[in-house]
Amino acid sequence: MTPLFAGTYNSRDTGGMPLRGGGQIRTGVLYRSDALSGVTDAGLAELDASPIGAVVDFRTDGERAQAPDRLPERRFDTEHLSVLEGAAPGIGAPAAMSSESVRAVLKEIPTLGDLYIRMLEGTAASFARVAGLVATPTDESRPGVLVHCTAGKDRTGVATALLLDAVGADRDAIVADYAVSEQNLSGEWADRMLEGVAKTGVPMLPQIVALVTATPPDAMRTMLEWVDDQGESAAYLRSGGLGEAEIGMLRARLTA
C-alpha cells in the first residue's frame, strides 16, 4: 500500500471501511500513521493540503526527542498522549532504550495481544480524549484527526480500532486494516528498527521481532474480545470520560 504522506511508511485514511449495518466510515476524518519525522517536502505539502487539523502523538518523550515530527507551518492542534508506560516498560524507539529498559523487556516479553490489553488498562481517559477530538474538532474547516506513534501499528492500531469499533465498523475490516501495517512496514523500516534494537543488546528473539514489526490478526481480535468483556468499545470510552452526546457526535462524524 502506498503511504498517504511522502516520507512515511504506514500512513492512511481509515475512510471507506464498511459498517456492520451498512454504510461506511467517512473519509477525511480519522487518519493513522507511523512517525512524521521523515516526512519529505512533498509529504509536508500533502499534509498542508489535507483536512487534518489535529495530530495526536502517542510516542514517549524519548521517542519524540529522538525523532521530532515534521509538520507544515500552518497551525495544527497537537496532543501528546502516553498510553504505553506500565504496559511494557522500556518499549519505545529502540535507540532510546536504556540498559535498564533492555533488561525489563527481556524479563517478560508480552505477546502483542497481551500488550494491547495492558495498554488499555488504566488509559481509557487518553483514548477517550482522542475520540473527543474526532467528535468535536476545534476547526470545522479542518476536522481531520491524525493519530500516530513510531510504527503506527500498536498504540495507533489500538486507538483507531477502538474508535472505529465504537461507531460500528465491520470487525473483519478493522482487523484487516490493522494487519496491513506489517506489510507497509516491511523492508527498509523494519530493517532499520531491528538494527536499532540489536544495538541495545536485545537478542533477536522471534518474540522481539514480532513486537517491533508484526501485526498478527489474532492480536487485534484478542484486544477486541477484551473490550467486549468490558461492555464494548463505546462503554470503554465512556469509562474514560466520553459523554453520551460525544459518542453520538463521534458516530455522526465518522459514519456515512
Closest CA to 144 of 50, 58, 73, 69: 50
Domain ranges of the chain: 12-249
Give residue 82's pLDDT band: very low, low, confident or very high (50, 70, 90).
confident
Please tell me the predicted confidence (pLDDT) of residue 162. Answer: 98
Task: Quote the crossing angle between the two packed helices 206-213 and 188-199, to the nearest 10°.
Answer: 130
| Coil vs helix vs strand at 184 | helix
Q: Per-residue pLDDT for 106 more than 70?
A: no
Considering only residues 43 and 110, tell me which one the structure prediction assigns the higher pLDDT. Answer: 43
How do residues 217-255 score in pLDDT, each as one tens digit? Answer: 999 999 999 999 999 999 999 999 999 999 999 999 999
- Which option is the CATH number for 12-249: 3.40.50.2300, 3.40.50.2020, 3.90.190.10, 3.30.470.10? 3.90.190.10
Please tell me the predicted confidence (pLDDT) of residue 91. Answer: 53
pTM above 0.85, yes or no: yes
Closest CA to 130 of 164, 170, 79: 79
The CA–CA distances, whole Å, from 188 to 5, 31, 150, 181, 184 equal 17, 22, 14, 14, 10
